[in-house]
Structure 1
């Protein structure tokens, strides 16, 4: 049964362009204007966050679009305070649309006396009055179990598959999908199956966080066009080193498809100077001016899939249907024409 009220979107400051793109896409689907709820989200002089909603939201189905990317703490607090404002304004249901879920890398205790920050954040979101979470490519699938509310985890690989089939048309038999570490094999295998390509692994060993001591290629990449796939790129050191290792192992060229472009510190400079032919990111995190200006970095939109997922949640229909190419293809028809 359709929900009796219209879905309403509200955006924080983390990635307003994405929120506006989702609203435009939903307007196309609905055949009526879907705008962002008018609100004021600002800082006091001591950096405290203040939120004021200027529209009536009583009984409404509210979707807060707010990735918890850098600055992670500020964006997380914005999300929680927006949720509190909506809950106290008698919103009917509050769904947090978190395209990039920060703190996801702290999903387990790797040594004694360390936190599981992803669980702490999940508790804060649940206690903040949010009733459902919609996100994309969680760093670890088990994070869904940290929540005591429904979590819909979208995947970028169907979008990447459409892009690869378009960009490498006629060359698919030359491709090989690469997992940059053993932990990402399931993600890489899923993409490899979608585009019908073989899979190889770059095994990396770290001496300490952020520094890779050694890399080894598992699989024969000789003469192959390698597609590295991963969920996030932070400083790009590992990614650029993996590209070098693959080329030294005989690969003809290397491209990378990364869901979340964290792109901290020297990341953009490293990518532009690397031997990678291209890096493809999604806009779950708002691309910086440097990312957009880089010649070998390209951004693909996720607004179409998020807009459809929001409509499916509002309608009470399947979100997992968006994992199928048959469903996703028409949504991206304008960007990747079929045939």
Structure 2
């Protein structure tokens, strides 16, 4: 096995390699003066099982292009099998044609990865389940829930209600509620722009309850903070939020700081762009991804990684 890492999230890659019990494969990655990316794998990987770790988060275009070039380098170096490990799959929100003359960019990214030469993909908490169907190669889709639920069981009080901040997150909220033995509620929202959201109504009773907002990702925190204000008006005793992928920009951090959300629980699937402040708790998914890598390498089942004890 050889584990390669792009420049997107070196810290996570090192934690994964340590959990696997190996070192990162040596590689040279740099940019030419005109911005073109150069990759050279400086170890022999002929006939090896190669895993390339690279979340395609901010800046998504640079990180995606770097990943494609690393895949091509590994293929031309005669790697036996190449697995792209994407803790975060960029462009996942563009997964359908909901307006005239718009692309389905999540499918385009899948086509690019396959064309570059990957044999399988390992990812976590896709924005939409159907993205797995965009690939004609094996996809191992992990969930951060085992890591997050373990923390919530230790830290959250009784009388919990899991809240979906929009109707699209209802399935995920119901899954968390089942794992936590909690009730379920959902917030209806109206998106005014890419950064501004209005929470319009609440379905479910949260009065006197400890609410946990659950979402797969956040960047401006608009959806979460709007939902939190609606929960306060509905009489929630406390409000926490959990997201698998925190893409928070500085505006999102400011919104979070001024919101009634007491704590935001995130994972280290992507590096943070800003100082996220004291309200944010970061949980590591390195061991989860490392275990999946080891099982893929040994051709073992990864099903038990979805189990929560």
Query: Does structure 1 residue 26 correspond to structure 2 residue 9?
Result: no
Q: Deviations over 1:185-227 (max 9, x none)?
A: 1111111101111110011122444332442110000001100
Stretches of structure 1 that go unaligned for 5 or more consecutive residues are 1-6, 28-33, 327-339
Residue in structure 1 matched with residue 24 of structure 2 by the alignment: 36
Q: Distance in 2 between matches of 1:215 and 1:59?
A: 56
How far 1:264 sits from its partner (Å)?
2.2
Residue in structure 2 matched with residue 223 of structure 1 by the alignment: 208
CA contact (8 A) 2:247 2:273 kept: no
CA contact (8 A) 2:199 2:227 kept: no
Decide which moves more: 224-233 or 210-219: 210-219
Residue in structure 1 matched with residue 88 of structure 2 by the alignment: 100
Query: Does structure 1 residue 71 correspond to structure 2 residue 59?
Result: yes
Q: Distance in 1 between matches of 2:110 and 2:270?
A: 19
How far 1:287 sits from its partner (Å)?
2.2
Q: Distance in 1 between matches of 2:241 and 2:278?
A: 14
How far 1:241 sits from its partner (Å)?
1.2
Q: 1:128-277, aligned counterparts within 5 Å?
A: 128-168=116-156, 171-172=157-158, 174-277=159-262
Q: Distance in 2 between matches of 1:289 and 1:307?
A: 26
| Structure 1 moving runs of 4+ over 3 Å | 207-210
TM-score (norm 2): 0.98
Q: Distance in 2 between matches of 1:246 and 1:55?
A: 54
Q: Distance in 1 between matches of 2:89 and 2:208?
A: 37
Q: Against the structure 1 CA distance between its residues 165 and 213, is the aligned structure 2 distance closer, same or farther, given a 3 Å change threshold?
A: closer
Residue in structure 1 matched with residue 288 of structure 2 by the alignment: 305
Stretches of structure 2 that go unaligned for 5 or more consecutive residues are none
Q: Against the structure 1 CA distance between its residues 226 and 296, is the aligned structure 2 distance closer, same or farther, given a 3 Å change threshold?
A: same
Query: Does structure 1 residue 324 correspond to structure 2 residue 307?
Result: yes
CA contact (8 A) 1:12 1:64 kept: yes
Decide which moves more: 42-51 or 316-325: 316-325
Query: Does structure 1 residue 127 correspond to structure 2 residue 112?
Result: no
Counterpart among 2, 12, 16 of residue 6 in structure 2: 12
CA contact (8 A) 2:248 2:274 kept: no
TM-score (norm 1): 0.89
